[in-house]
Amino acid sequence: MNKINSLFANSKDKKLLSLYFCAGCPTLEGTADVILTMQRRGIAMIEVGIPFSDPLADGPVIQSAATLALKNGMSLKLLFEQLEAIKDKVEIPLVLMGYLNPILHYGIEQFCQSCVAAGVSGAIIPDLPFDDYLNIVKPVADKYDLRIIMLITPETSEERIRFIDDHTDGFIYMVSSASITGTQKSFDEQKQDYFRRINAMNLRNPRMIGFGISNAQTLKAAQDNAAGAIIGSKFVTLLNEAQAAVDDHALGHKTAADAALDHLFEALSE
């Protein structure tokens, strides 16, 4: 069974936490340590960002991370090599998150083949048109048992949501607001109403809520209204700060990933 499907099948009563980081940021060779540290610290699923020069859906934190990753020399080919090197050590689902342009340059079939070779269970491609997903990407992804995860927002119609639910597998990425990525202190009543509206639809696929989660209040709201939460910008910020402390020899033997997770868990308890 695909690791994504297995995770949700075995976690019906758990409040899952998934984290995003951008491959190649803050360091080119840090991918393995970040992933293995997250796994050791109990993160349920990891989104690994493919850096791109024009990340339209992302806020300044992740845009800066992508810029640094590209400057460091990260590429899709190198990322697959890094992931393949730790494939046998990774037990939790890995999901690549990236824009369509670099994936098209790499080749759809080659991308899916490389995902399998590297132990990747799924991909999120925010700017992939749904018709292209159905007609071009899905047949290839299905052949390799790769889950293509689609996003919904508060502006997505009920008809569209049900269509997505009927034609995807794994989980639905439920964007908390119709805006770019970034942190928020709380989810207002309008967002809470959106969560309740989607809950009432009784969709077939489980949902993960992302965008804006950075503290106990937003985490609880997400986990109370879906299978779990996805945190990106907050963790990327903490990882960059921790790496700066490592560079200044301020963390002793602790790695940047461990320090960032310490600070994240502290923030999520406040």
Q: Which two tokens stand for residue 141?
A: 């992804």
Give CA–CA dist 227/209, Å, rounded. 8
Residue 58 is a catalytic residue: yes
Tell me phi and psi for residue 92, to 5 degrees: -90, 160
Q: Which of 47, 165, 169, 258 is catalytic?
A: 47
Rounded Cα–Cα distance for residues 180 and 193 (Å) = 20
Marked catalytic residue, from 13, 29, 33, 58: 58
Name the residues annotated as catalytic: 47, 58
